[in-house]
Chains A and B, each alone.
Chain A
Amino acid sequence: MRPLFYAVWRKIKSMRTTVANIMLFLSCCTQCVFAQQQDTLVLPAAEIVAERPLLFSIGNSTTLLDSAFVATSQGNNLGELLSQQSALFVKTYGAGGSSTLSSRGTEARHTAVFWNGLNISSPTLGLNDLSLTPVSFCNRILIVRGGSCAINGSSSIGGSVHLLPSEPVFEKHGAFSASAEAGSFGNFNTSLSSQWAGKFVESKTQVFYGTANNDFKFVNRASRDFPEQRLTNSANSGFGIMQDLRFKTGADQYAGLSAWYQTLSREIPPLMTDPSSEATQSDSSLRLVGTYKINKQKWGVHANGGIFYEYQRYNDPEYSINTYYPSKTLTGDIEWRRFLSRSLIISAGSNYALSSAKFAEYGTELKRRELFSIYSGIKFNHMEKLKAQLNLRKELLYANAPAFTPQLGLEASIYKNMVVLIGSLGRNYHIPSMNDLYWVPGGNPDLQAEDAWNGELGLELKIQKFEKTKIRINAFGSKTENWIRWQPTTGGIYAPDNLRKVETKGGELLITHRQSFRKAVIDFTAEYSFVSSCLIETYHANEIQLLGNQLMYIPNHKATAGIFYEKGNTSVVINHSFTGSRFTDADNTQWLDGYVLADLRMEHWFSMNKSAVAITAGVFNLYDTEYQIMPYRPSPGRWFTVGIKFTHANKKP
């Protein structure tokens, strides 16, 4: 007898990767929501209920990481998960350090991260530190590759990551789960989750606490004779709590409140080249979101509004640095959608974000960045054989944004739904961060938004019956004008400018395969990504020789492959990831070697009526690979975890 989430997971496991599967999944989920309506329009109901990036994902390559991955990686942060489970490159500044994402050859600021439909990237930095998000707080994770600004707004030039909430069902149930994991280098984390639902209210509370010493041994490649040393000043400690409440306000509508507090304090270890470090960093955030959703048979309204507080403190006594960067964002999004016919749905909405911050580096005054955009979309679906969508967005308040942002997506079955042609073309943009605009010295309030055109074309092959094997091949490219970069100026300071154009192009291969035995299941997933990301125009004479070079810290090659094997109450996951070499200078004369990492995780469940207990074990960096993600920042060799999980539900799973 399997635990509840495993049963759910088994249902949705095959839903990865393709848009068709995502919609099928939504259809399953929403059948119960609309069961009482006994409507024959099942699929349209899913399209009314779906989160916006799921509804309008035609033409983009997407991956939905389901709750199984979340369940098996509860001790990880989002950066660690995406690094192992996707061909996206995660740039991590050493063990426990900050993590940012590079999708399709773009910079960290070009991949927006959303929670409850709202962009949670830092308004001051313009990017999201993935190390601050515990995986245990993620229900489902949708990865969208390629530009999708017409759908998601600013900053989704390279891609976007969506932490999707679960849809409420308002059926009486209760569930409790807990996990604790201990590992090498003082790693310990624990998480609790409690769910309760009645006919009109649902509540879910999640708590996470994690700590690590990260005092592992490493070979110091920056010291004579390569001595083995132990990392110092590397401990971290994090705590988070997330509360979701859903209130049924009618047969087809509900209201929600979500609160998320997260804090992480970490020591910043020294580079291999440096003898010591006393630096520390502390990041905290409080996010409050209110939701209201009306899901009628043929139309729906989704509204989200939130207020986000962020605090970052950096302290380095050695250099007498003690900085404190607080910021606040008030944001909201409202969208209306309606079926015009069984095959045609339209949508319109608006998005608002007012960010404000006041600290010494912004001068004496409170600085604000106010963004407001309107958008619309239309989606056509003819018998699942031909799908098309057109989305439009217009930023109204930021004067230097592109005039108009369209995106067109297409999926066409060219052979019995077994061979599907997929493509998209769109304009995308990134509004400068508040640091880009207001930092003193250097900030430039007149900066242009980065302005990109993205396109991709792919084939999806479904080889066996029941979609057991899927292969998707994509080619993609983009050209981004007004590329923002901080550059030395004649006054002796660094300042951002828009004087570059960057081109990316590449290809992806995504494979999923499921093989069932009588009592066992194997799921195989693999991704490979090749990307060339080059400066192709510059107005700086000194950069002429850099034209055509790969951008720094963006690998040409990234690949992952994973096998999930389950038999009875035992499961084994083996993941491999390969990250190619990355240049560490703009001239492409210095680089870091590529590396292969492998993780092995095992779980065995013992079921007892409505409860289940699991013992877990993990081996990370299985081959004891010595590697550096960023120069001279040590990474751990092989390390281990053991843990225990407990689940209890008031219904038998």
Chain B
Amino acid sequence: MNSSKTKSARFHLILLLTALMFHSCKKDEMDVINPPSGSGVYVVNEGAFLAGNGELSFISNANGSITNNLFQSVNGFAAGDIANSFHIHQGKGYLVMNNSQKIEVVQVPGATSIATITGFSGPRYMATKGNRGYVTDWNSESVKMVDLDQHAIISSIDVGTLPEQLLLAGDKLFVPNSGDSTVSIIDINTWSLLATITVGLGPNSIQKDDHGRIWVLCKGSTGPDYIGGTADDAAGSLWRINANTFATELVIPMGQFEHPLKLQTNATGTTLYFLNGLDGYNGAIYSMNADDLTLPSSPSISGSFYGLGIDPNSGNVWGAAAPSFTQNGYVLRYDLNGIRVDSLGVGIGPNGFAFN
């Protein structure tokens, strides 16, 4: 009897020890950090598809320090899947989360979460004026008008296929439809489509120069095989459009294997910058005067960059490199002479910048 009790007690002891050995506890709320302050550079880290790790990095102008995983670190929750762009407007930052179909609104400086704008089906880029935001929405092939006070979509207008990096010039939205060869032009006051003009194949980004002229960068195509540099490639091109008449003023053709993207300008609009490469996703950095009629014969900064940004204050050129979507990327800063200033490790898939 005693022996049996002893054995029974031993069994329960084993049971208890096993349970204790593997004791578990509920996950506590995430630790958060104080948001960084002051001016700096925000880097958009796209993250890997279906990994939920789209993020921001912040590089302080004051001391050059970098904070990676900024959104999660400050707010304690993930920003979402595929961070596509970050737009700063009137003290707020709008982190456009493509596959999570939302925009996370944060305070700037810092990145403290304010609100989430939902109802998109694949948001890409944003332009703003006053208390209105305009967001290209890939899958619905539309531009959404957003009330920036209510953080809600209030209207939608159809455009072309796969609308991309849009431009607001005065009261007109210029929307490049990267899935075809058109630019949709929208009057934001009447919220109506003014015109749809034809440009080169695959327009992906639009900027305005110091004369108010509209520049449209067209990627061309890597063809049905999706492989750049093969016989089925279609050449990229750069187009200049009259902002009022929407007439084509200039077409600069490119080589069959040139597939440019991410058109930017400096603060004054005198210089155009873009990436130009073989695959349509990465490229070397090219720059040209907005009055030039031809492309530069060689890149101003060699390399393979996935993201491009021009600091409007210093004129520094920022290039972002994404080796793969399972490892972290890095950003390189160049001065006005194209001399590399520094290099910093960021998150996965850095694809763009915003400057505060």
Chain A residues with a Cβ under 8 A of chain B:
221-224, 226, 271-275, 318-319, 440-441, 487-493, 515, 517-518, 522, 524, 540, 542-543, 546, 552, 559, 561, 563, 565, 574, 576-578, 584-587, 589-590, 593, 595-596, 598, 623-626, 631-632
Q: List 18 A-B contacts (CB under 8 A).
A: A221-B77, A223-B77, A224-B77, A272-B52, A273-B79, A274-B52, A274-B80, A274-B99, A274-B101, A489-B279, A490-B278, A491-B230, A492-B228, A543-B327, A561-B18, A626-B26, A631-B52, A632-B51
Q: Does A584 contact B51, Cβ atoms closer than 8 Å? A: yes
Q: Does A632 contact B78, Cβ atoms closer than 8 Å? A: yes
**Contacting residues, chain B, for A574 (C-beta < 8 A):** 15, 18
- How far apart are A635's CB and chain B's nearest CB, in angstroms? 12
Q: Does A318 contact B139, Cβ atoms closer than 8 Å? A: yes
- How far apart are B211's CB and chain A's nearest CB, in angstroms? 34
- How far apart are A417's CB and chain B's nearest CB, in angstroms? 27
Q: In whole angstroms, how far apart are the Cα atoms of A632 and B52 in the complex?
A: 7
> Chain B: interface residue count, which band?
35 or more
Which 8 pairs across A and B sit closest by C-beta, in order of nearness? A492-B279, A542-B323, A632-B52, A273-B52, A586-B327, A222-B78, A596-B24, A491-B227
A sample of 14 more A-B contacts (CB under 8 A), given A273-B81, A515-B11, is A224-B77, A226-B77, A271-B50, A273-B79, A274-B80, A440-B225, A491-B230, A492-B227, A517-B7, A552-B326, A565-B11, A585-B348, A589-B328, A625-B24
Q: Does B22 contact A598, Cβ atoms closer than 8 Å? A: yes
Q: Mark B311-331, 1 if CB is under 8 A from A, else 0.
A: 000000000000111111000
Which residue of chain A lies nearest to B54 when distances are taken between CB atoms in the complex? A273
**Contacting residues, chain B, for A578 (C-beta < 8 A):** 22
Contact A222/B15 with A441-B227, A595-B24, A625-B24 known, Cβ cut-off 8 Å: no
**Contacting residues, chain A, for B179 (C-beta < 8 A):** none
Q: In whole angstroms, how far apart are the Cα atoms of A271 and B101 in the complex?
A: 12
Contact A576/B116 with A563-B14, A631-B52 known, Cβ cut-off 8 Å: no
Q: In whole angstroms, how far apart are the Cα atoms of A574 and B19 in the complex?
A: 9
**Contacting residues, chain A, for B281 (C-beta < 8 A):** 492
Which residue of chain B lies nearest to A561 when distances are taken between CB atoms in the complex? B18
- How far apart are A149's CB and chain B's nearest CB, in angstroms? 27
Which residue of chain A lies nearest to B30 when distances are taken between CB atoms in the complex? A221
Q: Does B29 contact A590, Cβ atoms closer than 8 Å? A: no
Which residue of chain B lies nearest to A541 when distances are taken between CB atoms in the complex? B323
**Most chain-B CB neighbours within 10 Å: which of A274, A540, A563, A589?**
A274
Q: Which of B293-319 contact A (CB under 8 A)?
A: 304
**Most chain-A CB neighbours within 10 Å: which of B22, B278, B280?**
B22
Q: Does B78 contact A272, Cβ atoms closer than 8 Å? A: yes
Q: In whole angstroms, how far apart are the Cα atoms of A275 and B278 in the complex?
A: 35
Q: Does B80 contact A491, Cβ atoms closer than 8 Å? A: no
Q: Does B24 contact A271, Cβ atoms closer than 8 Å? A: no
Q: Mark B8-41, 1 if CB is under 8 A from A, else 0.
A: 0011001100110111101101100000000000
Contact A631/B53 with A275-B100, A552-B326 known, Cβ cut-off 8 Å: yes
Contact A274/B227 with A224-B75, A585-B326, A590-B69 known, Cβ cut-off 8 Å: no
Q: In whole angstroms, how far apart are the Cα atoms of A226 and B280 in the complex?
A: 38
Q: Does A221 contact B328, Cβ atoms closer than 8 Å? A: no
Query: Which residue from A441, A585, A596 sits with its C-beta under 8 Å from B22?
Result: A596
Q: Does A222 contact B324, Cβ atoms closer than 8 Å? A: no
- How far apart are B329's CB and chain A's nearest CB, in angstroms? 9
**Contacting residues, chain B, for A488 (C-beta < 8 A):** 323-325
**Contacting residues, chain A, for B184 (C-beta < 8 A):** none
Q: In whole angstroms, how far apart are the Cα atoms of A441 and B78 in the complex?
A: 32
Query: Which residue from B14, B22, B226 sits with its C-beta under 8 Å from A493?
Result: B226
Q: In whole angstroms, how far apart are the Cα atoms of A559 and B21 in the complex?
A: 11
Contact A524/B279 with A226-B29, A441-B225, A543-B323 known, Cβ cut-off 8 Å: no
Q: Does B228 contact A587, Cβ atoms closer than 8 Å? A: no
